[in-house]
Chains A and B, each alone.
Chain A
């Protein structure tokens, strides 16, 4: 429930036509207009899904399940009939795995960059400005952090402004927290440090199947 002070502040900004300096979506709009991730647990944590019109981020170290979560997002978006875009900065995406996860590849616009983050950022900007996509994912997970820090500080703000008020949910995949808009969320994936959280099947010592690895999710942000 927004406080009375905040409501008054927003009304003043709107009266002076300065409301675009902040996000124009109120919390009620965000709760209505979300893109479900396809993971029930995560959706419950997010309050239904990722906010549309905002830039969110999915962070975690290598092998923390980022691609799997993204594939589930793709699948959910494709099932809703939305167009999806994936800007793959380091050309690491495996379409066969995505298809095995149930992603409708015909809905996916895959932009394969050879590691140039600035050019991939331009590609993302083009996709966002074109509009009409339900989900746009920008993968900079394998880009060196120093290359990301070389972006001007207004870069992410500009991208947040591009999609503000649109029906597009933008997600940045990174190894560490990089950028998100005020209405976006940070989904942090943390591998369980306890080795016992790995799930195995079979009782033999030498031949057992790894069934899965438990991951901890932490949702930060989301007003």
Chain B
């Protein structure tokens, strides 16, 4: 029996000579499969464009809602979405066929997501954006047009085209004239006796262009369901959200601070990368008794320092502790554009908003939220007519220029600083003035009398213990 050698078990390596071609050498190289996106079969399937349109139904959108629900649904299904006004969003569902199946299945999934979100959403799917939008305007239920676009929208009335144009002009103040011109052309079509989009599509293009110009041709293309511009994906607003499910429930603030640090540091990093700051912090604590403790911290300025945010959360929880131990911690940040700070050499630096927010929170925890801040006088006759507001000193550039004071040598003049009260409820401000002579009292304007014993030399400190005399005006 022959024992195989190592050479017998491995393939022989041929000697490479100049006569051998590259193909012969390539036979010995490992075979690399082409990446999935360039596979011929998959490429053929993806070349078929498919768009879905989600349109909010006739019910009124909720006021102050930052993101309408159909936008969130569209974002969940596709990263390529484009908004058309507040009521309509188009999403590219071309690649969803391999994941969900036929366009009918995609439409059913969109409808299911809409129902789960409780949103009143109209759904239409077609091979062009315009066709999908037109179908969503006309169809209350899901409309799937997997075939020719022009045929799918041919039966739609002219009114759908008007709604389409108004959607495009929503939020653009300069587009009013353009919309009015397009609506006038639609009226012209009506006067010609046309009632459906198919009839507009059947018009001869040359004659239509001669009568209405390029705008008429644009309307005809829309009536055929042809996209005049490609889908421009919305850049999107990323969600700054972090959540952590704890292995053991936490019922104290100290261990919770470590959890906050672990959640807030990546959030802070993400905010910094996106050049965003936190306008509000939303803390959601899932408790062991299956309740949710929610706190929302409105921050005085956009900030993204993880330590500051953690301190604010802890101080807030110190004042508003949860009722049970914590199971799941979720922090979401409402982002706003980052704050640009420009310091001035001419103005005195004020405490930064981060410092003030932390200080105010600490003081609020110490003495009470309502017992620290800036007083604001109320327009009332009550003696205690004031309320406390958040302390937010404005920069001095927003203030009037400081009044210049006369030098001591000019105090022989009547004092100009005294002002009569605007009303009887406002008392005059006390003022002190240096008299002409340091050893005598002089009469001047009401409330400006004063005497001084022995003032020190200007620019040098007075002799310690040297007495002086001031007049405290009675108000």
Q: With contacts A45-B456, A119-B366 known, is A130 near B358, CB below 8 A? A: yes
> Would you give the shortest CB distance from B432 to chain A, in whole angstroms?
5
A42 and B470 contact, CB distance less than 8 A:
yes
A109 within 8 A of B: yes
A222 and B464 contact, CB distance less than 8 A:
yes
B461 and A46 contact, CB distance less than 8 A:
yes
- Find chain B residues with CB under 8 A from A104 CB: 399
B402 and A100 contact, CB distance less than 8 A:
no
- Find chain A residues with CB under 8 A from B449 CB: 199, 211-212
- Find chain B residues with CB under 8 A from A40 CB: 405, 408, 411, 432-434
Closest to B470 in A: A215
A111 within 8 A of B: yes
- What CA separation (Å) do A41 and B472 show in the bound complex? 13
Chain B interface bracket (under 10, 10 to 19, 20 to 34, 35 or more): 35 or more
What mask results when residues 357 to 390 of chain B are scored 1 for a CB within 8 Å of chain A, else 0?
0110011001100011111110000010110100
B366 and A109 contact, CB distance less than 8 A:
no
B391 within 8 A of A: yes
A112 and B367 contact, CB distance less than 8 A:
yes
Closest to A130 in B: B359
- Find chain B residues with CB under 8 A from A221 CB: 464
B430 within 8 A of A: yes
What mask results when residues 389 to 431 of chain B are scored 1 for a CB within 8 Å of chain A, else 0?
0011111100100110100100100000000010000111110
- Find chain A residues with CB under 8 A from B433 CB: 40
> Would you give the shortest CB distance from B279 to chain A, in whole angstroms?
22
A108 and B375 contact, CB distance less than 8 A:
yes
Task: Indicate the member of B367, B465, B467 with the most A CB atoms within 10 Å.
Answer: B367
> Would you give the shortest CB distance from B349 to chain A, in whole angstroms?
6
Closest to B352 in A: A132
> Would you give the shortest CB distance from A196 to chain B, in whole angstroms?
11
- Find chain B residues with CB under 8 A from A122 CB: 366
B470 and A65 contact, CB distance less than 8 A:
yes
B349 and A132 contact, CB distance less than 8 A:
yes
- Find chain B residues with CB under 8 A from A110 CB: 372-375, 388
B468 and A214 contact, CB distance less than 8 A:
no
B474 and A211 contact, CB distance less than 8 A:
yes
- Find chain B residues with CB under 8 A from A42 CB: 432, 468, 470
A130 and B366 contact, CB distance less than 8 A:
no
> Would you give the shortest CB distance from B298 to chain A, in whole angstroms?
19
B432 and A80 contact, CB distance less than 8 A:
no
Q: With contacts A41-B455, A44-B456, A122-B366 known, is A109 near B374, CB below 8 A? A: yes
A182 within 8 A of B: no
- Find chain A residues with CB under 8 A from B383 CB: 96
- Find chain A residues with CB under 8 A from B349 CB: 132
- What CA separation (Å) do A190 and B466 show in the bound complex? 13
> Would you give the shortest CB distance from B62 to chain A, in whole angstroms?
35
Q: With contacts A47-B462, A109-B372, A111-B371 known, is A218 near B467, CB below 8 A? A: yes
- What CA separation (Å) do A6 and B136 show in the bound complex? 89
- What CA separation (Å) do A71 and B399 show in the bound complex? 18
- What CA separation (Å) do A181 and B373 show in the bound complex? 28
- What CA separation (Å) do A11 and B352 show in the bound complex? 36
- Find chain B residues with CB under 8 A from A72 CB: 430, 432
A123 within 8 A of B: yes
- Find chain A residues with CB under 8 A from B268 CB: none
Q: Find B377's partner among A31, A47, A95, A119 (CB 8 Å cutoff).
A: A95
Q: With contacts A104-B399, A133-B351 known, is A216 near B469, CB below 8 A? A: yes
A155 within 8 A of B: no
Residues of B within 8 A of A (CB): 347-352, 355-356, 358-359, 362-363, 366-367, 371-377, 383, 385-386, 388, 391-396, 399, 402-403, 405, 408, 411, 421, 426-430, 432-434, 446-447, 449-453, 455-456, 458-462, 464-475
Supply 7 further A-B pairs (C-beta < 8 A) apart from A105-B375, A212-B474.
Answer: A41-B432, A45-B466, A65-B472, A80-B348, A123-B363, A126-B362, A213-B472
The 6 residue pairs across chains A and B that have the minimum distance between CB atoms: A81-B396, A132-B351, A47-B461, A45-B462, A95-B375, A79-B402
In the assembled complex, 26 residue pairs joining A and B whose CB atoms fall closer than 8 Å, in A order, are A39-B470, A41-B455, A41-B468, A42-B468, A47-B462, A65-B472, A81-B348, A81-B402, A82-B348, A97-B475, A100-B426, A100-B475, A109-B372, A110-B375, A113-B367, A119-B366, A119-B367, A127-B359, A130-B351, A130-B358, A132-B350, A211-B474, A212-B474, A213-B474, A214-B469, A221-B464
